[in-house]
Structure 1
Amino acid sequence: MVEIEDLSSALFWLLDRIGKTIETEDDLKIAKFFFNEALLVLKKVASKDLRQIVKEFILLKSKHDYETFSEKWFEEDVFNYKSSGLNRWVNWIDCHSNNKAKRRGPCGTWKLLHVMSIYGPEKSKDFSNAANYSSMIANFISTHFPCIGCRKDFSQRIGKTQTKLRSRDPSKIRENDDLIIWLWKLHNDVNETLMKDRGLDSMQFGDVENFPKRIWPDERTTEEEILAILRKEYKI
């Protein structure tokens, strides 16, 4: 079961950095779609304060409004009381590392994305179709992920820009299970690029299609079994 603190911290971490990637009204719209969907998924487990922050972000009308929003919520010592479950440097449980800049935020973000891929479509009003939901996630990551190189790499992997990398086109998704597997394979693709960081997250259960010798727990693991593993791993 995933740690709720890591999901909350990831959402807080993304909100704190989103101002750097909002350049147009469309950028803001993409971000608002994502955070609204994340809030629907975490509604019953996120703290009251975090829900309030996300709701206020969703009501923003321009990048200028974000600056006021950021000053209100992300100044030091805003969260210096225990009830919020948050503070300026956010708390991580599983997403730990000796190198603070290397993991944590990205790790927590992937956990959040996996949880959204499992629970999102059934809770969504605007993206209940799995293909639309995957496109919503893909648009957010390729536009707003805090790491510039990661955004470029991800855009190539979903077919937005030409590349020799294998493409994981979100529009080809048909069912909710396809969405879960699509994101899992993308995560593996990204981790393949980041294999220098050989932590627990280096290869997320392998990949039936492309890495049969790396399958966890063994080569006979089926896609149905991997779905069961992911649903258990990211249960909230």
Structure 2
Amino acid sequence: MKVTCSRRSVEAPAGAAAPAVRVPESLLLPENITRSKPSMGHVRTISGIFLPNHIKWVGCQGSRPELRGYTCSLWKLFHTLTVEAGTHPKALDDTGFEGDPQAVLQAIRSYIHTFFGCKECGEHFEEMAKESMDSVKTPDQAILWLWQKHNLVNSRLAGHLSEDPRFPKVPWPTPDLCPACHEETKGLDSWDEGQVLLFLKRHYSGNNLDHTYAAALGGAGEGGGPAETSEREGGRAFPQKPGDQGSRSLRPPSVQPPRPGLSEGPHLRQDRAGVPGRREAEAATPFLGSGFSSLDMSLCVVLYVASSLFLMLMFFFFRVRSKRRTVRHRHPAV
């Protein structure tokens, strides 16, 4: 991987399979990164960052490798950021963005404009931002704004080649997932935005995140299990189809937290009772989770081997010594 600025470039370690990434030099200036000195150290060591040869998605794995994945994970991240900013307003204290309801949306906008690989997608998002982002006056409005635009994007991409047939792009949340979010007005289906806001805050809250794969020994996400296919493109949940073997929750069924107000659809019931999901959760649990670290286990192995060698040496020592005594008794000195 090669990171190139206007006047400098650094190479990643050999063997890193990744395209060149162009970063504007202005982004590396201290005032445009952060006020924290430790973070500046990460910028100086950017040459050690590279992409792996194999990417295994967990919560955003599609029915084919080229579907969902990166774009799905971005939408999930964006929704989570808007919800966290709305529910934890003090998180932006001392950042220069406190009290700004558009802070997260503007950061998302800048990221898509600067780094997102799909130029056409970035232009569409910029058009939506110019059209109505200025109308966002509260953190709750920011949450709903991103939700509305995500549904708009999915409506535009419905039937596109990028759509995963197992995760169709439909208005979300669906009626079976959040019945209270839908209402009829003169025979037409419409949204109850108050209920949608409550649902989004529950669905993307920190308490609803699963960290099973984030804390696994040997690297996060490695050896990740199958996709959490109850979440469709962009972090949007979609009812699980009967017999869909890829649809399993990332959270072990035994520790699924209660989700008040959410519909108990078949996808949730199967998540809690599915044996395959439980097996994968158990497989993801670290073997040393009973209080022993890898160093402790290494010491135990070393001590075990050393003890075995010592016992073997003592055995041969006494065996040879006993044989010598037997020979001396049979042939006494004259």
| TM-score normalised according to structure 1 size | 0.58
Q: How does 1:1-236 map to 2 (within 5 A)?
A: 20-26=21-27, 32=33, 59-60=42-43, 69=46, 71-74=47-50, 76=52, 89-120=54-85, 122=89, 123-125=91-93, 126=95, 127-128=97-98, 129-159=100-130, 167=131, 169-196=132-159, 197=163, 199-200=166-167, 202-205=169-172, 217-218=182-183, 219=189, 221-236=191-206
Q: Following TM superposition, by how much is the alpha carbon of 1:185 offset from its aligned partner in structure 2, in angstroms?
A: 1.1
Residues 225, 151 of structure 1: alpha-carbon distance in 2 compared, 3 angstrom cutoff: same
**Contact 1:32 1:58 (8 Å CA) reproduced:** no
Q: Which has the higher strand share?
A: 2
Number of residues paired by the alignment? 168
Residues 157, 103 of structure 1: alpha-carbon distance in 2 compared, 3 angstrom cutoff: same
1:189-222 per-position Cα deviation (integer Å, ceiling 9, x unaligned): 2112211225546135269xxxxxxx96453541
**Contact 2:63 2:166 (8 Å CA) reproduced:** no
Residues 191, 27 of structure 1: alpha-carbon distance in 2 compared, 3 angstrom cutoff: farther
**Contact 1:138 1:170 (8 Å CA) reproduced:** no
Aligned-CA RMSD value = 3.6
Q: Which has the higher helix share?
A: 1
Residues 201, 183 of structure 1: alpha-carbon distance in 2 compared, 3 angstrom cutoff: farther
Residues 202, 120 of structure 1: alpha-carbon distance in 2 compared, 3 angstrom cutoff: same
2:256 is matched with which residue? Answer: none
Q: Following TM superposition, by how much is the alpha carbon of 1:170 offset from its aligned partner in structure 2, in angstroms?
A: 2.1
Q: Following TM superposition, by how much is the alpha carbon of 1:101 offset from its aligned partner in structure 2, in angstroms?
A: 2.4
Residues 191, 156 of structure 1: alpha-carbon distance in 2 compared, 3 angstrom cutoff: same
Structure 2: segments with no counterpart, 5+ residues? 1-16, 175-179, 184-188, 207-334
CA distance in 1, matches of 2:30, 2:120: 22
Structure 1: segments with no counterpart, 5+ residues? 1-15, 37-54, 77-87, 160-166, 208-214
Q: Between the two proteins, what is the percent identity of the paired residues?
A: 20
CA distance in 2, matches of 1:134, 1:17: 28
CA distance in 1, matches of 2:19, 2:135: 28
- What is the letter of the counterpart of residue 202 of structure 1? K
CA distance in 1, matches of 2:31, 2:104: 12
| TM-score normalised according to structure 2 size | 0.42
- What is the letter of the counterpart of residue 74 of structure 1? F
SS at match of 1:99: coil
CA distance in 2, matches of 1:190, 1:20: 26
SS at match of 2:143: helix
SS at match of 2:102: helix
2:268 is matched with which residue? Answer: none
Q: Following TM superposition, by how much is the alpha carbon of 1:178 offset from its aligned partner in structure 2, in angstroms?
A: 0.3
Q: Following TM superposition, by how much is the alpha carbon of 1:145 offset from its aligned partner in structure 2, in angstroms?
A: 1.6
**Highest CA radius of gyration, 1 or 2?**
2
